[in-house]
């Protein structure tokens, strides 16, 4: 079995969702081809560690599928891995630097295994690979392969070349072929939830962000390929699909009729798949929140009432310097329109504190926006200068200590929002899609429509079903309740 591991970063960030979701991500047993003499070759082992966002989790799953077809089996420790892959994140400095400390450990494992005659190939994939390319091999010569996010379908060929004696390979170009066409069919084992990347890259060039440089220009997958992938997931037991994209609501893929389709159109098409019960999407930009998508939240029953809509700062001056092209007032007006159509929608957001030039008054404006918008959830970050982005060389860089204090104050306000939102659910009946068994005997864990984790004592046969749960208690990060009846 090949399984992707992940690396949580911040206690109250999107990584928490990512870790929870990962628990129920499984991969098929690989079945190595028989040798010509009929004997079964020793399986090769792969260790994959995933850093960063859900899009990397999706990419790690797809890499695992490519490798499973080549006879690789899972290992959850690098010590016995023939192939170790770090699928990396470059969004903030800390995330990128962690990769180098992990590479130090992998280098030691590689040389210890080499003494026993065993080979270990080390691959750096994902956004650090894309951003740093050959620099990685210079800093960490034990690395065999630097693999950009558009090239991982070529893993078997590249590993073959390395085993054939070629020296370190750096594959970070954006190839002409569509990697999604070249990947094997989805082979994830039975799972209730899944990610589906529908869009990659970004053309918005917010001045703090590396994504346009690491993931390239916006690309949307055609509807036909997405419907096909979603149908296969549903056949394997998936009931809840989260559509992923760096700017997912800017989706504009080729429709079944050849014309460009919006995210609202794609959601409508996916909602017609029998057996698919819930659809979510992330991450969205306020500028791409179209009328049709707002309307879909009001009308499409399978589209869950949860929306992640980053605003970044409550100060218009800072938003302009970030190149966000929205103001605090039009963000608030936008969420008011969304709530008109779907009053119970749970809103989530991303916020950066300490962007260059951010004053105390600007920060107070951010706090005021958080209070007014009444978010159910939020991810908050200290600004991290990223090489090559315009903000990294702007005047007025904010001292670390000021950023730390602002983040602490902001997180208090955010936490009060979690408590309010979860507390308001006590006494309500929520339809919960059960995903897996919980830690305590007899308990199942599922998600409410608002993406909250819900625990209840229930029959494991209910995994994959939506059941009404009466909520009895609320913690900041989860709810508990008792089952009322199956819907
Ligand atoms: N596309 C989404 C949007 O427009 O807001 C965001 C995607 S980005 C991968 C995820 C989040 O990381 C951003 O919303 C932002 O809050 C945060 N982020 C990006 N660059 C950052 C930086 N240099 N320092 C701190 N946080 C950053
Ligand atoms: Fe980065 Fe999002 Fe801005 Fe694109 S829209 S540059 S992904 S923050």
Query: Which of 229-256 are b and which e, b meaning 16 or more Cβ less than 10 Å from the residue's Cβ?
Result: bbbebbeebbbbbbbbbbbbbbbbbebe
Mutate to test the pocket of ligand 2, among 55, 92, 212, 250 (most ligand atoms within 8 A of CB): 212
- 176 pLDDT more than 90: no
Band the pLDDT of 173: cuts 50, 70, 90.
Answer: confident
Tell me, rounded to whole angstroms, the distance of Cα 413 from its chain centroid.
25
* Total residues found in the chain within this entry: 487
Distance between CA atoms of residues 433 and 11, nearest Å = 25
Q: Which atom of ligand 2 is nearest to the CA of 312?
A: 8
Q: Residue 352 Cα, ligand 1 centroid: separation in angstroms?
A: 8
Token pair of 351, please?
A: 């916020």
- 255 pLDDT more than 90: yes
Closest CA to 304 of 450, 447, 197: 450
Mutate to test the pocket of ligand 1, among 51, 91, 248, 383 (most ligand atoms within 8 A of CB): 91
Q: What is the largest CA-CA distance in the chain?
A: 75
Distance between CA atoms of residues 54 and 460, nearest Å = 27
Mutate to test the pocket of ligand 2, among 14, 89, 209, 215 (most ligand atoms within 8 A of CB): 209
Contact predicate 400/433, CB 8 Å: no
The pLDDT, as a whole number, for residue 95 is: 82
Query: 381: Cβ below 6 Å to ligand 1?
Result: yes
- 162 pLDDT more than 90: yes
Token pair of 449, please?
A: 């429509």
Phi, psi of 484 (to 5 degrees): -105, -50
Residue indicated by tokens 């009946």? 429
SS3 272: coil
- 28 pLDDT more than 50: no
436, β-bridge pairs: 445
- 10 pLDDT more than 70: no
Band the pLDDT of 185: cuts 50, 70, 90.
Answer: confident
Token pair of 111, please?
A: 């040389």
Q: How does strand 443-447 pair with strand 453-457?
A: antiparallel
Q: How many CB atoms lie within 10 A of CB 176?
A: 5
- 19 pLDDT more than 70: no
Q: Residue 230 Cα, ligand 2 centroid: separation in angstroms?
A: 26
SS3 113: helix
Mutate to test the pocket of ligand 2, among 206, 214, 217, 323 (most ligand atoms within 8 A of CB): 206
Q: Residue 310 Cα, ligand 2 centroid: separation in angstroms?
A: 10
Query: 350: Cβ below 6 Å to ligand 1?
Result: yes
Band the pLDDT of 13: cuts 50, 70, 90.
Answer: very low
**35 or 348: whose pLDDT is higher?**
348
Give me the mean pLDDT over the 356-372 stretch: 98
SS3 443: strand
The pLDDT, as a whole number, for residue 174 is: 78
Band the pLDDT of 145: cuts 50, 70, 90.
Answer: very high
Beta strands in 167-217 (DSSP E): 169-171, 193-197, 199-200
Q: Residue 483 Cα, ligand 2 centroid: separation in angstroms?
A: 41
Distance between CA atoms of residues 437 and 445, nearest Å = 6
Query: 386: Cβ below 6 Å to ligand 1?
Result: yes
The pLDDT, as a whole number, for residue 36 is: 47
Q: Which atom of ligand 2 is nearest to the CA of 283?
A: 2
Q: Residue 236 Cα, ligand 1 centroid: separation in angstroms?
A: 33
What are the distances in angstroms from CA 165 to CA 50, 114, 144, 148, 161?
A: 27, 16, 11, 21, 7
Contact predicate 6/50, CB 8 Å: yes
Q: Residue 113 Cα, ligand 1 centroid: separation in angstroms?
A: 39
Q: Which atom of ligand 2 is nearest to the CA of 285?
A: 5
Band the pLDDT of 1: cuts 50, 70, 90.
Answer: very low
Band the pLDDT of 33: cuts 50, 70, 90.
Answer: very low
Q: Residue 265 Cα, ligand 2 centroid: separation in angstroms?
A: 23
**Whose C-alpha lies nearest to ligand 2, atom 1?**
209
**Whose C-alpha lies nearest to ligand 1, atom 15?**
350
The pLDDT, as a whole number, for residue 27 is: 29
Distance between CA atoms of residues 181 and 207, nearest Å = 33
The pLDDT, as a whole number, for residue 29 is: 32
Band the pLDDT of 189: cuts 50, 70, 90.
Answer: low
Nearest ligand to the C-alpha atom of residue 217: 2
Distance between CA atoms of residues 144 and 156, nearest Å = 14
**Whose C-alpha lies nearest to ligand 2, atom 5?**
204
- 296 pLDDT more than 70: yes
Q: Residue 351 Cα, ligand 1 centroid: separation in angstroms?
A: 8
The pLDDT, as a whole number, for residue 260 is: 97
The pLDDT, as a whole number, for residue 9 is: 28
- CA quadruple 7, 9, 11, 17: dihedral, nearest 10: -50
Q: How many CB atoms lie within 10 A of CB 12?
A: 16
Using one digit for the tens of pLDDT, what is the confidence trace for 418-439? 999 999 999 999 999 999 999 9
Q: Residue 161 Cα, ligand 2 centroid: separation in angstroms?
A: 36
Q: Please work out, in degrees rounded to the nearest 5, the angle formed at the alpha carbon of residue 290 by the alpha carbons of 286 and 294.
A: 95
Question: Exposed, middle or buried, 160 (CB in 10 Å: 0-12/13-18/19+)?
Answer: exposed
Distance between CA atoms of residues 418 and 423, nearest Å = 8
Mutate to test the pocket of ligand 2, among 285, 310, 349 (most ligand atoms within 8 A of CB): 285
Q: Residue 193 Cα, ligand 2 centroid: separation in angstroms?
A: 26
Mean pLDDT taken over the chain:
89
Q: Residue 322 Cα, ligand 1 centroid: separation in angstroms?
A: 11
Q: Which atom of ligand 2 is nearest to the CA of 210?
A: 1
Q: Which atom of ligand 2 is nearest to the CA of 323?
A: 3
SS3 57: helix
Query: 384: Cβ below 6 Å to ligand 1?
Result: yes
Mutate to test the pocket of ligand 1, among 381, 383, 385, 414 (most ligand atoms within 8 A of CB): 381
- 258 pLDDT more than 90: yes
Runs of H (alpha helix) within 197-240: 211-214, 223-235
Beta strands in 52-116 (DSSP E): 72-74, 83-88
Ligand 2 pocket, CB under 6 A: 202, 204-206, 209, 211-212, 246-247, 285
Can you give the pTM of this predicted structure?
0.89
Give me the mean pLDDT over the 74-101 stretch: 92
């Amino acid at each position: 079995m090949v399984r992707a591991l992940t690396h949580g970063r911040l206690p109250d960030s999107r990584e928490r969702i990512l870790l929870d979701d990962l628990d129920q991500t499984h991969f098929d047993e690989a079945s190595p081809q028989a040798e010509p003499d009929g004997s079964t070759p020793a399986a090769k082992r792969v260790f994959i560690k995933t850093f960063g966002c859900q899009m990397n989790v999706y990419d790690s799953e797809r890499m695992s599928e490519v490798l499973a077809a080549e006879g690789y089996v899972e290992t959850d420790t690098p010590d016995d891995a023939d192939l170790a892959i770090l699928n990396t994140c470059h969004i903030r400095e800390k995330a990128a630097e962690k990769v180098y400390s992990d590479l130090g450990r992998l280098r030691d494992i590689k040389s210890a295994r080499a003494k026993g005659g065993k080979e270990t190939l080390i691959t750096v994939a994902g956004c650090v690979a894309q951003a740093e390319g050959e620099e990685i091999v210079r800093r960490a010569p034990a690395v065999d392969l630097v693999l950009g996010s558009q090239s991982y379908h070529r893993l078997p060929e590249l590993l073959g070349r390395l085993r054939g004696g070629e020296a370190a390979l750096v594959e970070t170009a954006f190839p002409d072929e569509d990697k999604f066409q070249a990947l094997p069919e989805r082979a994830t084992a039975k799972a209730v939830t899944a990610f589906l990347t529908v869009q990659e890259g970004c053309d918005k060039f917010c001045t703090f962000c590396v994504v346009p440089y690491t993931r390239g220009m916006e690309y949307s997958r055609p509807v036909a390929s997405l419907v096909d992938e979603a149908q296969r997931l549903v056949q394997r037991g998936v009931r809840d699909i989260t559509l992923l994209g760096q700017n997912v609501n800017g989706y504009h893929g080729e429709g079944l009729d050849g014309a460009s389709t919006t995210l609202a159109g794609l959601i409508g098409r996916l909602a017609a798949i029998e057996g698919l019960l819930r659809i979510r999407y992330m991450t969205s930009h306020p500028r791409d929140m179209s009328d049709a998508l707002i309307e879909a939240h009001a009308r499409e029953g399978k589209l869950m009432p949860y929306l992640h809509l980053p605003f970044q700062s409550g100060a218009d001056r800072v938003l302009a310097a970030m190149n966000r092209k929205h103001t605090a007032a039009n963000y608030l007006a936008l969420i008011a329109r969304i709530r008109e159509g779907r009053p119970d929608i749970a809103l989530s957001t991303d916020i950066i504190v300490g962007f260059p030039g951010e004053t105390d008054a600007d920060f107070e404006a951010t706090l005021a926006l958080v209070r007014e918008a009444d978010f159910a959830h939020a991810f908050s970050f200290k600004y991290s200068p990223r090489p090559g982005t315009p903000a990294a060389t702007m005047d007025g860089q904010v001292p670390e200590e000021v950023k730390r204090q602002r983040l602490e104050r902001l997180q208090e306000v955010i936490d009060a929002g979690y408590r309010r939102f979860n507390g308001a659910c006590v006494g309500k009946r929520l339809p919960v899609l059960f995903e897996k068994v919980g830690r305590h005997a007899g308990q199942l864990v599922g998600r409410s429509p608002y993406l909250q984790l819900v625990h209840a004592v229930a029959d494991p046969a209910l995994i994959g079903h939506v059941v009404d749960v009466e909520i009895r208690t609320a913690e900041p990060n989860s709810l508990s309740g008792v089952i009322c009846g199956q819907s």
